Amino acid sequence: MFNFLNLCYPNVCGVCEKICNEYICNKCRAKIKQYKKSDVNEYINNKNFNMYAYIFIYDGIIRKKIIKYKFLNSPYLYKFFSNIILDDLKLVDYIKNFDIIIPVPIHKKRKKKRGYNQSELIAKEISKKLKIQLQLNVLYKNVNNSPQSTLNQEQRKYNTKDVYILKNKELIKNKNILIFDDIYTTGNTVNECSKIIRNAQVNNIGVLTIAKD
């Protein structure tokens, strides 16, 4: 279950988790440099979204941290991931192209079990700091499917099909939408979310993830 104390943790470095005044210590900042890409891709073809950006390569310590954040009751790590995004001028510039940020939803049963939606915590922070609207009432996950990480490439394609639904589409009509997710592997999840969101007659859709596999 959700552990509220985890959010009130003392300030620690998000990587080594030692007490630290900043979200990352100097030693770890150097250590994660090799995984940091801050890659922004515009004009994406053959996808339901137009732009895509990510911060890290999904490997090494970053991979371990994301797994911990997602699966090991560590909601406090949202601070590390959101700060690293907000400190990156290239990514901040990219995010400013959008009016609304929508985190990829998880099924309500999974959210209850995990206690939090890892993408939502980060999107909320980005929304607050960059003053772009957080929208949680439009995209819903209707089916509690298997986690993508447990499936092969072929299974992933079908696993995400028709699992998301759109509600209150007037809330995002004619807006530029940024979809936020944790990991980009085949892109099936964000592509499926974009397809659903397109039905609301939005302008551009962009995608931002923490890492790319």
State the residues that interact with Zn ion by CB under 5 A.
13, 15-16, 25, 28
Which of 25/51 has CB closer to Zn ion?
25
Lateral strand order in the sheet of 133-134: 36-41, 51-57, 205-212, 177-184, 100-103, 133-134
* Alpha-helical runs (H) found in 1-131: 26-32, 60-71, 78-86, 89-95, 108-114, 118-130
Q: Name 41's Cβ contacts closer than 8 Å, sequence gap at least 6.
A: 51, 52, 53
Output 26 or 174, the one with its CB closest to Zn ion: 26
Q: How far apart are CB 30 and Zn ion at their closest, in Å?
A: 10
Nearer to Zn ion, 28 or 193 (CB): 28
- Least separation in angstroms between CB 25 and Zn ion: 4
Which of 11, 41 has the CB closer to Zn ion? 11
R_g of the chain, CA atoms, integer Å:
17
- In the complex, least distance from residue 32 CB atom to Zn ion, rounded to whole angstroms: 9
Q: How far is the CB of 58 from Zn ion (least distance, A)?
A: 20
